[in-house]
Amino acid sequence: MFNPRLTKDPLEKRLKLRRLRVMSGFSPDLFREKAVAVGSHLNLIYFWDKKWFYVAMLVGTLMLQLPLPDGLSQEGLVVLTMSVVATILFVTEPVPLPTVALMIICAQVLLLGIDSTNVAKSLMTDSVLFIMGSLMLAVAVVKQKLDKRIAWWLVRITGTRTSRICFGISVTSGLLASFIGEHTVAAMMLPVGITLITLTSDDPKKVRNLAAVLLLSIAYGCSIAGIGTPSGGARNAIMIGYWKEFFFDPTNSETYRFIIDYMKWMMFAYPIFLLQLPFVTFILFKTFRPEYQDMSRAVVKLRAQVEKEGAMKRADWMAIFLFFLILIGWITVSSNIGMGTVAVLGASAFLIAGLVRWEDINSGVNWGVVLLYAAAISLGVEMKNSGAALWVAEHFLALLAPLGADEGFGLWAAVSVLTTIVTNTMSNGAAVAVLGPIVLKVAVAAQESPIIIGFITAISSAFAYLTVVGTPACTIVYASGYLKTTDFLNVGWKMVLFSTILMLLIAMVYWPFLGV
Amino acid sequence: MSKITKTMTEQETRKDRFRILVSIDGSEEAYQSLRYAAKMGNGVDADIVLLYVRPIDQGLRSGGLQVRIARENMLDWGLELPGIKYLKKGYEILLDMGAAGDDWHEHNYHSNVDGDPLGDNKIEYINKEGKVIVLKLKVATDIATGILEQWELGPYDLIILGASGRSRGIAKNLWNPAVAEKVATHAQCSVLVARELDIGHGHLICTDGSEKSLETVRKDAYLASRCECPVSIISVALDVESKEEAKTFVETARKELAAMDIEVVNAIACVGTPVDKIIDAGTDYSVIVLSDSGKKGLKRLLLGSVATKVLQEAYTSVMVVR
């Protein structure tokens, strides 16, 4: 293929181009001068990139100057300002997100005058411990390389039809994710999905729709499952923490119903996940219409690939055994010793058994997230203590009253829509941490059950199907490079609509039987 | 220390070479602009760098579990990073066109990037005469930043990238510029934003008589003669009275080109709104060539320029020359 004509020019032409280069001002020295010129307006670009940070600070300063509104204490105004500023920063991300957490901690001491030891204490709760422990567990579980085993079982059961494979992937991802968290399962199942795609065709263009269906089956399968059990996601643990913090009073036996344990949560939320499952595959197939209806070639190759792994090893059995032990721990004893304790216990068990190295855990967990949730929850509790949450809740209700949405079903729908909007712009855990105190106070002010409103918020926070950043599972499958951001939008709105309707139906028809 | 001197001398030798950076994203548009780049960079004194920018794998968005865990798992299954396929396809296109050869030397490089397990990777192909073709897989927070960072490593004479769709409204562009606009605004070298870039129809250079635009004329003369494209000139007068003035601008530019031994195909002087006239006239050409506005800093940010508007609204490819 070597074509000398293009790489060896006649000398004459070469000289002419050379002369033109000098004449036209592409002279060598220009580069240096220009490199200096970059510096002079680099500052401005730097400033512009961080514009939202300055906007947030400006909004904060202005809010603090406002005259005190009726019914809000000075403390409440400060906390409210902090929440607004933090929300702007969460959504626009001009600075690394853990910075926001650090700022919240500092502001609590500097602006609210709370003793720094007390602020530090408010950072660690069982919910935060749970988030930390389950992230460590997530790394440990992914590192067991059980994904090849799972893939093997999967294709044996589903056969070779694309629709059945996709449904199988959603079910497997979902069932696993409902217990060990969506990010864990998304990281495990992603290679299975991509392997199936690349084995079908090498050209990404020929398998665009197939890739979308397969990968989104993983992402949405994981996302809808995250609500199933308290250990499915950080947001669930945060909501459980809020219920306890807001309403539980050890001296009053009436308030014991606000302690939601593992089984109780599952009774509320698991049916929603199970009902959603078949619709995920249906909606994805209606939207993307994959190029291949049958994937026998890919499946045969995948089978050959995973069979190389050989029989299950002792370490594999050990990992599965530990996994079930943790699960049993969550179901049976977590209401006594806390979900966080069980998660941390599980992580230690994996480390003690030598199934995972600390270095892997250390580099696999983004500790900034732990910090972020800690600060967000601490701010949420402060929202309650200062009365800011109640004040916002009352105004929110007054706003909804003309629409007839200040009570009953209308209020449920309004809370769900609000949560869906917020969760699509920031991570779902942060959405629950920010909105939780407000919606729980809304429930109190509207004389609705805080449990129902809390569940609606926690479950709606999973409806972040629209954006890549909405849920961990979406972010992880997006890293494959096969999906476009518009793919999430195209199918996501259908998922949001369907999920919202399903949840509200369940809330209306099924939850009353559970006695709330 | 030795590493710094090495890169210094490397950059020193690069100055004499014509270096093109082509951003590849797997779209047909990108491959079409690669073909154009191959034609423009066909001499032995030209290097072509194919760049694919991959978003950095970060864990804040993935719920605290680092994406690297998923990535390591994928590599464990023997799966490639995204982008490698696109770069390879680009290289095959160059091979087909004869712009690269099978007998070139191949070098692989890897550099670490904070926060990403795999970092930047590049494959460099060099022929006996020193012509270089590079496939680079780069990690960056976003695509525009990646392209601009790559320029700093260069430097390059020309960046070619696909347009990100037509006009999305001024407010939106100012607040959150699309990749092409961001690169065209911030890059320190000429930027060609490709829209159905074909080779045949020549360059249309815009001039307003300023020294800056004459510099553009001279520079584009060089670029156009690299791809052996015919050159035309346009100057737009705001009102009828100054039409004569526009004519003289065109004439000056023509003389400038004549001095460089280049023939002008069409010389247009017309009256109207510059942006609209340039866009209308531009439909007959492959590329509209404009100079970067003289505005600096905040003024540029707020007022924009003819160049930016044409860039956003034109139907053909647009090149901003610096």
Q: Give per-residue pLDDT as tens, A166-199.
A: 999 999 999 999 998 888 899 899 999 988 888 8
User: By three-state DSSP, how is residue B102 classified?
Assistant: coil
Mind listing the pLDDT tens digit for each residue in A274-289? 999 999 999 999 998 8
Residue B115, pLDDT score: 60
If asked whether residues B92 and B216 sit together in one domain, one would say no
Judged by a CB distance cut-off of 8 A, whether residue B261 touches chain A is yes
DSSP classification of residue A307: H
Residue B93 lies in a domain: yes
Residue B5 lies in a domain: no
Most B CBs within 10 Å: which of A11, A29, A31, A34, as the mutation test of the B interface? A31
User: For residue B162, what is the enclosing H or E element?
Assistant: strand B158-162
> How far apart are the C-alpha atoms of A494 and A447, rounded to whole Å?
32
DSSP classification of residue A12: H
Kindly report whether the peptide bond that precedes residue B155 is cis, defined as omega within 30 degrees of 0. Answer: yes
Mind listing the pLDDT tens digit for each residue in B275-303? 888 888 888 888 888 887 655 555 555 54
Residue B135 lies in a domain: yes
In the structure, what pLDDT confidence band is assigned to residue A460 with cuts at 50, 70 and 90? very high
Tokens of A394: 């009352």
Residue A351, pLDDT score: 95
Contact A481 B15 (CB under 8 A): no
Judged by a CB distance cut-off of 8 A, whether residue B263 touches chain A is no
Residue A26, pLDDT score: 63
If asked whether residues B209 and B312 sit together in one domain, one would say yes
Contacts with A469 from chain B: Cβ below 8 Å:
61
Mind listing the pLDDT tens digit for each residue in B110-143? 887 766 667 788 888 888 888 888 888 888 877 8
Residue A45, pLDDT score: 62
Contact A472 B62 (CB under 8 A): yes
Average of pLDDT values for A143-147?
A: 86
In the structure, what pLDDT confidence band is assigned to residue A43 with cuts at 50, 70 and 90? low
Residue B158 lies in a domain: yes
Considering only B31-45, B166-180, B230-244, B294-308, which range has the smallest mean pLDDT?
B166-180
Average of pLDDT values for B149-158?
A: 83
If asked whether residues B153 and B208 sit together in one domain, one would say no
Contact A14 B77 (CB under 8 A): no
If asked whether residues B125 and B26 sit together in one domain, one would say yes
If asked whether residues B223 and B151 sit together in one domain, one would say no
Residue that terminates a domain, selected from B162, B190, B221: B162
| Total tally of structural domains belonging to chain B | 2
> How far apart are the C-alpha atoms of A214 and A170, rounded to whole Å?
9
Residue B216 lies in a domain: yes
If asked whether residues B147 and B235 sit together in one domain, one would say no
Contact A370 B297 (CB under 8 A): no
User: By three-state DSSP, how is residue B92 classified?
Assistant: helix
Helix pair A162-180, A262-288: axis angle to 10 deg: 150
Residue B280 lies in a domain: yes
Residue that terminates a domain, selected from B162, B189, B217: B162
Q: What is the mean pLDDT of chain A?
A: 86
Beta strands in B11-90 (DSSP E): 18-23, 46-55
- Domain of residue B210: give its range: 203-321
> How far apart are the C-alpha atoms of B314 and B275, rounded to whole Å?
9
In the structure, what pLDDT confidence band is assigned to residue B259 with cuts at 50, 70 and 90? confident
In the structure, what pLDDT confidence band is assigned to residue A81 with cuts at 50, 70 and 90? very high
Residue that terminates a domain, selected from B109, B132, B162: B162
Tokens of B177: 């510029």
If asked whether residues B29 and B154 sit together in one domain, one would say yes
Strands B116-126, B132-140: pairing is: antiparallel
Residue A29, pLDDT score: 41
* Phi (first) and psi of residue A383, to 5 degrees: -55, -40
If asked whether residues B43 and B145 sit together in one domain, one would say yes
Residue-wise DSSP of A355-372? SS-HHHHHHHB-HHHHHH
Instruction: Indicate whether A405 pLDDT > 60.
Output: yes
> How far apart are the C-alpha atoms of B39 and B151, rounded to whole Å?
21
Average of pLDDT values for A391-407?
A: 85
For residue A165, give the nearest of A133, A225, A211 by alpha carbon. A211
In the structure, what pLDDT confidence band is assigned to residue A84 with cuts at 50, 70 and 90? very high
Most A CBs within 10 Å: which of B62, B157, B292, B296, as the mutation test of the A interface? B62
In the structure, what pLDDT confidence band is assigned to residue A39 with cuts at 50, 70 and 90? very low
Helix pair A428-445, A388-400: axis angle to 10 deg: 70
In the structure, what pLDDT confidence band is assigned to residue A357 with cuts at 50, 70 and 90? very high
Strands B132-140, B158-162: pairing is: unpaired
If asked whether residues B220 and B147 sit together in one domain, one would say no
If asked whether residues B119 and B227 sit together in one domain, one would say no
In the structure, what pLDDT confidence band is assigned to residue A3 with cuts at 50, 70 and 90? very low
Residue A347, pLDDT score: 95
DSSP classification of residue A161: B
Which of A31, A37, A181 shows the shortest C-beta gap to B155? A31
User: By three-state DSSP, how is residue A58 classified?
Assistant: helix
Question: What is the CATH classification number for the domain harbouring B33?
Answer: 3.40.50.620
If asked whether residues B22 and B156 sit together in one domain, one would say yes
* Phi (first) and psi of residue B136, to 5 degrees: -125, 130
End-to-end CA distance of chain A: 76
Residue B298 lies in a domain: yes
If asked whether residues B154 and B226 sit together in one domain, one would say no
Residue A37, pLDDT score: 46
Which of A21, A96, A139 shows the shortest C-beta gap to B69? A139
In the structure, what pLDDT confidence band is assigned to residue A219 with cuts at 50, 70 and 90? very high
Residue B8 lies in a domain: no
- Check: CB of residue A123 under 8 Å from CB of residue A254: no
User: For residue B122, what is the enclosing H or E element?
Assistant: strand B116-126
Residue B128, pLDDT score: 83
In the structure, what pLDDT confidence band is assigned to residue A251 with cuts at 50, 70 and 90? confident
